């Protein structure tokens, strides 16, 4: 697939100024300038965030009202229930708030809807159940901002509600005691991209300040807050970066038995954002995807070592089942795409029998990544197809679906990801209408863009310089690993690995030689040969093998030199 290489036009004077002022190497200074981190306060906060870099929680909408009501509930020993979500952000949100409130001497129950039976967010049956249990105060975490009818129903049943959320509100806000969400139109809080668990962290920070508790009473939860923040793929900048950078230090020495066990089970030797994204998050998410959301919460809350080990084994098993189910749906989708020549279209829409609701969104992501086209996968159930869709930058899938309303039963989501129900009788009509919209938007002209931080020579790189890039961690959304371009390198050796899946090269210029690995680029092994001159784009990393450290380029794209 063709990719567009876009090299930053960096202000060299600014780079030199930052390099000298902060005593950092040129490459690090270049990346900071590319990320528009150029002011003193920004640089210090980015490279060395501290606990006093957290903003005042009382600047958040309705925070004062929320705290007053929670303090009243604590003083009166009221029955409180936390209503969460089944993903990592929701599970960690419930864990943090429940643990914090119970340490204040009040019993708190929780309700997490079943993904397969209830779906996301509040529902009236759950609200009825909560009322029957005699709860007086319901606090939503990572959900609730769109629950207009459900909060109104809770009011009628005598339950007061505090909504804490981080999703975009509609035109109307729920009629709750307080609605704490920085995406509100009247928000004045300096940072609006917290995860749901980040909002909960601000809530317990505000309670701690009101009750005059020591800082450690809320800061000690940063390990769990960090897990939810990384897993929810929010931008790892500003206050999220403070949460994650400080939180990862706590994760390394966590006292949470469940987190410690799942870290060990993941098999990662180093604790960083990758460990959380690819080792921890999939195991927790697998619980919700397979309909066992309560097991993940139990794991984080348990104080019993034996129970923790049993739960960790269950999470591993759910994750294994999730992987098998995902692979099966993926393979069946590819067969459909190839048989019907869907790869030649602007959009890919497929439907299959027996496909699992919990993993269909992941498969849609993989299909979109593979073909770089908007995709929608539907599970065929009686008269409906129910499923998920993912898009590509430059094509607003949610907006496209609004133009297909007459062919859709219901849908929700945002520009890049949607949930959707389509009547089977309307399936073909919907598919063609979406395709027509994508053609009108010329999605075939959209190509992936690789934003390259610098064009560098092999002479310029050394182990110390590559190690210095760790100061930019943790990497994630809005703070991607830096990409570098290398030109006119000669292929010294070339081979495919893992049954042709990956590509292994050694590359050289006049004086230097470097290793390069290209994951999922194995098919290129027949397009290039020893002696070819190529340009590559990739990340720089240290590869440790048999006790020997070598600089390696982790390639993202290759082309023949001009």
Compute the CA torsion angle 36, 42, 48, 49 (nearest 10 deg).
-120
Residues 6+ apart with CB under 8 A from 122: 83, 140, 143, 144, 147, 150, 151, 154
- For residue 545, with 0-12 CB atoms within 10 Å meaning exposed, 13-18 middle and 19 or more buried, which class applies? exposed
CA 495 to chain centre: 33
Cα separation values, 290 from 15, 20, 141, 232, Å: 49, 53, 21, 18
Report yes or no: 111 and 82 within 8 Å, Cβ to Cβ: yes
Q: State the pLDDT confidence band at 366, using cuts at 50, 70 and 90.
A: very high
Length of the chain: 562
pLDDT for 116 equals: 79
Compute the CA torsion angle 213, 214, 218, 222 (nearest 10 deg).
180
Give the bridge partners for 384, in sequence order: 381, 423
Check residues 436 and 415 and name the one with the higher pLDDT: 436
Quote the tokens at residue 158: 């005598």
Mean per-residue pLDDT, 261-275 = 92
Question: How far is Cα 359 from Cα 332, in angstroms, rounded to an integer?
Answer: 14
CA 314 to chain centre: 23
pLDDT for 114 equals: 86
Single out the residue of 463, 444, 450 nearest to residue 535, CA to CA. Answer: 450
Percentage of the chain lying above the pLDDT 70 cut:
100
Structural domains of the chain in order of their starting residue, each with its CATH number: 57-220 (3.90.1640.30), 340-445 (3.10.310.30), 451-560 (2.40.50.460)
Quote the tokens at residue 248: 């990862």
pLDDT for 282 equals: 93
Question: How far is Cα 361 from Cα 379, in angstroms, rounded to an integer?
Answer: 11
Mean per-residue pLDDT, 364-372 = 94
Give the bridge partners for 350, in sequence order: 377
Question: How far is Cα 318 from Cα 228, in angstroms, rounded to an integer?
Answer: 19
Q: What is the pTM of this model?
A: 0.90
Report yes or no: 127 and 157 within 8 Å, Cβ to Cβ: yes
Cα separation values, 131 from 91, 153, 300, 456, Å: 22, 10, 26, 64
Handedness of CA 396, 397, 402, 403 (dihedral sign): positive
Looking at residue 299, the DSSP 8-state letter turns out to be H
Q: State the pLDDT confidence band at 473, using cuts at 50, 70 and 90.
A: very high
Mean per-residue pLDDT, 342-358 = 94
Report the number of secondary-structure helices (H) and strands (E) in the chain. Answer: 20, 18
Question: How far is Cα 280 from Cα 268, in angstroms, rounded to an integer?
Answer: 10
Question: How far is Cα 449 from Cα 393, in angstroms, rounded to an integer?
Answer: 9
- Can you list the positions of beta strands (E) in 348-483? 348-353, 375-381, 384-390, 410-413, 417-423, 449-452, 454-455
Quote the tokens at residue 106: 């009040």
Q: State the pLDDT confidence band at 415, using cuts at 50, 70 and 90.
A: confident
Q: State the pLDDT confidence band at 1, using cuts at 50, 70 and 90.
A: low
Percentage of the chain lying above the pLDDT 90 cut:
86
pLDDT for 168 equals: 85
Q: pLDDT tens digits for 301-314? A: 999 999 999 999 99
Question: Please, what is the average pLDDT of the chain?
Answer: 94
Report yes or no: 533 and 492 within 8 Å, Cβ to Cβ: no
Q: pLDDT tens digits for 82-95? A: 999 999 999 999 99
Q: pLDDT tens digits for 537-547? A: 999 999 888 78
Quote the tokens at residue 157: 């049943």
Mean per-residue pLDDT, 145-164 = 96
């Amino acid at each position: 697939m063709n990719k567009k290489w876009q090299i930053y036009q960096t202000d060299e004077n600014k780079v030199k100024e930052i390099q000298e002022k902060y005593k950092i190497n040129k490459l690090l200074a270049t990346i900071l300038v590319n990320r528009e981190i150029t002011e003193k306060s920004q640089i210090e906060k980015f490279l060395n965030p501290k606990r006093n870099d957290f903003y005042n929680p009382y600047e958040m909408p309705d925070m004062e009202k929320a705290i007053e009501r929670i303090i009243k509930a604590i003083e009166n020993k009221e029955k409180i229930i936390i209503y969460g979500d089944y993903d990592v952000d929701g599970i960690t949100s419930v864990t943090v708030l429940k643990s914090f409130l119970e340490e204040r001497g009040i019993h708190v129950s929780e309700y997490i809807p079943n993904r397969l039976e209830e779906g996301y967010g509040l529902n009236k049956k759950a609200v009825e159940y909560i009322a029957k249990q005699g709860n007086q105060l319901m606090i939503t975490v990572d959900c609730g901002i769109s629950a207009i009818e459900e909060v109104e129903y809770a009011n009628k049943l005598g339950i007061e509600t505090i909504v804490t959320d981080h999703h975009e509100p509609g035109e109307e806000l729920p009629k709750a005691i307080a609605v704490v969400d920085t995406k509100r139109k009247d928000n004045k809080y300096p940072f609006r991209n917290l995860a749901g668990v980040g909002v909960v962290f601000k809530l317990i920070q505000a309670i701690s300040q009101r009750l005059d508790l020591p800082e450690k009473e809320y800061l000690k939860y940063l390990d769990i807050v960090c897990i939810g923040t990384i897993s929810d793929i929010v931008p790892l900048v500003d206050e999220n970066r403070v949460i994650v950078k400080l939180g990862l230090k706590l994760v390394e020495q966590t006292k949470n038995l469940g987190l410690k066990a799942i870290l060990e089970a993941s098999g990662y030797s180093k604790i960083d954002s990758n460990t959380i994204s690819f080792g921890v998050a999939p195991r927790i998410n697998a619980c919700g995807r397979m309909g066992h959301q309560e097991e993940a919460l139990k794991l984080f809350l348990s104080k019993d070592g034996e129970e923790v080990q049993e739960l960790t084994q269950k999470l591993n098993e759910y994750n294994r089942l999730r992987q098998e189910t995902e692979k099966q749906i993926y393979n069946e989708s590819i067969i459909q795409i190839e048989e019907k020549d869907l790869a030649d279209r602007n959009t890919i829409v497929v439907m299959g029998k027996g496909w699992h609701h919990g993993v269909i969104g992941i498969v849609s992501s993989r299909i979109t990544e593979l073909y770089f086209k908007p995709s929608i996968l539907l599970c065929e159930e009686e008269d409906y197809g129910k499923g998920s869709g993912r898009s590509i930058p430059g094509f607003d899938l949610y907006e496209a679906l609004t133009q297909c309303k007459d062919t859709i039963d219901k849908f929700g989501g945002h520009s890049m990801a949607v949930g959707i129900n389509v009547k089977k009788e309307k399936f073909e009509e919907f598919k063609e209408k979406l395709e027509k919209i994508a053609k009108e938007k010329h999605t075939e002209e959209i190509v992936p863009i690789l934003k390259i931080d610098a064009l560098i020579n092999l002479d310029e790189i050394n182990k110390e310089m590559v190690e210095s890039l760790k100061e930019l961690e943790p990497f994630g959304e809005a703070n991607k690993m830096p990409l570098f371009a290398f030109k006119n390198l000669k292929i010294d050796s070339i081979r495919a690995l893992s049954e042709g899946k990956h590509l292994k090269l050694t590359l050289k210029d006049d004086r230097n030689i470097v290793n390069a690995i290209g994951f999922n680029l194995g098919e290129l092994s027949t397009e290039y040969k020893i002696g070819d001159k190529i340009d590559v784009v990739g990340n720089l990393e240290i590869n440790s093998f048999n006790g020997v450290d070598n600089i390696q380029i982790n390639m993202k794209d290759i082309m023949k030199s001009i």
